[in-house]
Amino acid sequence: MQIAVASGKGGTGKTTIATSLALSLAKLAKVRYFDCDVEAPNGHIFLKPVFDQISPAVILIPQIQPEKCTACGHCVEVCQFHALAKVGKTILVFPQLCHGCGSCTWNCPENAIIEVPNPIGTLERGMARENIAFLRGQLTISEPMATPIIRQLKKMEQPSEEFVDIFDAPPGASCSVVETLQGVDFALLVTEPTPFGLHDLKQMIGIVRDMNIPAGLVINRDGIGDDSLEELIQEEKLPILLRVPFNRLLAEKLAAGQSLVDVMPEYREVLVKLYQEIREIVGGSDK
Amino acid sequence: MKLIISAQNPTIESPVDTRFGRSQWLILVDADTKQWKAFQNPGVSQSGGAGVAAAQFVVDQNAEVVISGDFGPNAARAFQSAKIEMRLFLKQALTVEEAVDLYNSNKLLKFS
């Protein structure tokens, strides 16, 4: 079972829910937690992993061999990311714009391009509290490309019925979120009843519908904001799997690095039930 | 001398655009005769790499000088390799034509 926890809007409680779900299921199943928020991973604060493996995340970028290059400019034309430019008889490479797609190498008529690894971050693996396998990707500061790291992070383990995999998604509704959602059985959308939460939830609903992924909602900070979220949910007919009422004391403890289930242990049982509901939804769908 | 200036509209009377890669228009101007031609900036519609796309266009036009409000690191690297001079109009120039006049009287700051 692979579950992605996503939100659109940042700070709605993705990591709060993802880490507490992992902790709640750890006694019942083998749990793997993947921190896919590679630009600002923070699951480690709550799950306290000890890392025993670290490796560089690399993408292959072009290197032009000047003795073979005729500066025909084919590579510049085929690069849709503008990672190459032709200036006089020289081809310039802009590594930070390169997605590592290989089109330039493939299309070079002179075989003048070789591919060299360009490190953009790190991949880490370790064990966390309650025997949760913890995997984390981290993008090097100033590197702009999050998706290759997320792809490589997810590939560190094979999907297996033996495991519950929890993917803590990055905020937003762009490529890196889509990469996190790719192939999962279920999307748990964490939102809050505010105009920002609502706006981004609409985008997330569009994405999961496009990708044909069953989804359910967690309404965090329930009780604040307005009713527009409830109206949308009725229209969209999405199941509400959990409501977490706004609670200042909880917010303070979370900010101090305690997990939801540490502060309010009764949520363990609630989150186990939420997982059972997810199983029912996934079992009843095509999968 | 062939100049390219980032602009908001496709005329020499247009207000300048302080952005280079994302400016709507690039105006090619002959500094001596003030003959001009407006081009849609190929960078403006790109999801990424706008600066490089716009710079490639400037290089392909054989411009000798490019004038804008600022240049990003990628565009600047392309222009340095192409030996195209970069100048900044800061807050002095309001229109493309004024930017040309300021360039001709050597009042535009060199980008470095």
Instruction: Tell me which residue in B46, B48, B81 faces A90 most closely, judged by beta carbons.
Output: B81
- Which of A61, A80, A86, A87 to mutate against chain B (most B CBs within 10 Å)? A87
List B residues 18-77 in contact with A (Cβ-Cβ < 8 A). Answer: 43, 46, 48-50, 52-53, 55-56, 59, 74, 77
Confidence bin at B45 (pLDDT 50/70/90): confident
Flag the least confident range among A21-30, A132-141, B84-93, B100-109: B84-93
- Please report the ipTM that was assigned to this predicted complex: 0.83
> Where does B2-110 sit in CATH, by number?
3.30.420.130
Average pLDDT on A3-30 reads 96
Ramachandran area for residue A48 (φ above 0: left; ψ -120 to 50: alpha; else beta): left
pLDDT for B29 equals 96
Average pLDDT on A177-188 reads 97
pLDDT for B47 equals 80
Are residues A92 and B46, on separate chains, in Cβ contact within 8 Å? no
Is residue B18's pLDDT more than 90? yes
CB pairs under 8 A between A and B: 40
Q: Which of A242, A236, A204 is nearest to A222 (CA)?
A: A242
Distance CA B78, CA B80 (A): 6
pLDDT for A71 equals 94
In whole numbers, what is the pLDDT of chain A averaged over residues? 95
Q: Which helix (H) or strand (E) holds A251?
A: helix A248-255
Is residue A286's pLDDT more than 60? no
Distance CA B55, CA B75 (A): 6
Are residues A83 and B53, on separate chains, in Cβ contact within 8 Å? no
Largest CA distance in chain B: 37
Distance CA A92, CA A75 (A): 11
Q: Give, in degrees to the nearest 5, the angle at Cα B68 between B67 and B69.
A: 145
Average pLDDT on A16-37 reads 97
Are residues B59 and A82, on separate chains, in Cβ contact within 8 Å? no
Percentage of residues of chain A with pLDDT beyond 70: 99
Average pLDDT on A233-239 reads 90
Average pLDDT on A41-53 reads 97
Average pLDDT on A152-158 reads 95
Distance CA B7, CA B68 (A): 8
What residues in B contact A84, CB-CB < 8 Å?
A: 52
- Which of A82, A145, A147 to mutate against chain B (most B CBs within 10 Å)? A82
Which positions in chain A have a beta carbon within 8 angstroms of at least one beta carbon in chain B? 76, 81-88, 90, 92, 94, 96-97
Confidence bin at A287 (pLDDT 50/70/90): very low
Are residues B82 and A94, on separate chains, in Cβ contact within 8 Å? no
What residues in A contact B46, CB-CB < 8 Å?
A: 82
What residues in B contact A86, CB-CB < 8 Å?
A: 56, 59
Three-class secondary structure assignment of A23-68: HHHCCCCEEEEEECCCCCCCHHHHHCCEEEEEEEEEEEEEEECCCC
Percentage of residues of chain B with pLDDT beyond 90: 88
Average pLDDT on A252-259 reads 95
Question: What domains can you pick out in chain A, each with its CATH number?
Answer: 2-49+128-284 (3.40.50.300), 58-119 (3.30.70.20)
What residues in B contact A76, CB-CB < 8 Å?
A: 56
Are residues A94 and B56, on separate chains, in Cβ contact within 8 Å? no
pLDDT for B112 equals 82
In whole numbers, what is the pLDDT of chain B averaged over residues? 93
Average pLDDT on A233-250 reads 93
Are residues B59 and A86, on separate chains, in Cβ contact within 8 Å? yes
Is residue A226's pLDDT more than 90? no
Confidence bin at A285 (pLDDT 50/70/90): low
pTM recorded for the entire structure: 0.81
Instruction: Tell me which residue in B52, B77, B82 faces A82 most closely, judged by beta carbons.
Output: B52
Average pLDDT on B29-58 reads 93
Average pLDDT on A53-60 reads 94
Q: Mind listing the pLDDT tens digit for each residue in A61-109?
A: 999 999 999 999 999 999 999 999 999 999 999 998 998 899 999 999 9
Are residues B46 and A87, on separate chains, in Cβ contact within 8 Å? no
pLDDT for B94 equals 87
Instruction: Tell me which residue in B46, B77, B81 faces A82 most closely, judged by beta carbons.
Output: B46
- Where exactly are the structural domains of chain B? 2-110
